[in-house]
């Protein structure tokens, strides 16, 4: 199950997200953020 959350990001980060989506690697903004958080948790948890 997925849970809806709200985040606030600076303009440069949002532009980077849009570029990542435009490149075709990600489906949407949620996909970008979920991928990034999972990668961060992997690094932090070893």
Tens-digit pLDDT profile for residues 11-31: 999 999 999 999 999 999 999
Number of domains in the chain: 1
Task: Decide if 35 is inside a domain.
Answer: yes
Q: Which residue has the tokens 């199950």?
A: 1
Task: Decide if 16 is inside a domain.
Answer: yes
Average pLDDT over residues 34-38: 97
Task: Decide if 3 is inside a domain.
Answer: no
Q: Domain residues for 23? A: 11-45
pLDDT over threshold 90, residue 37: yes
């Amino acid at each position: 199950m997925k849970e809806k959350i709200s985040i606030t990001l600076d303009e440069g980060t949002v532009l980077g997200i849009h570029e990542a989506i435009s490149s075709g690697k990600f489906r949407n903004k949620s996909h970008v953020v979920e991928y990034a958080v999972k990668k961060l948790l992997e690094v932090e948890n070893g």
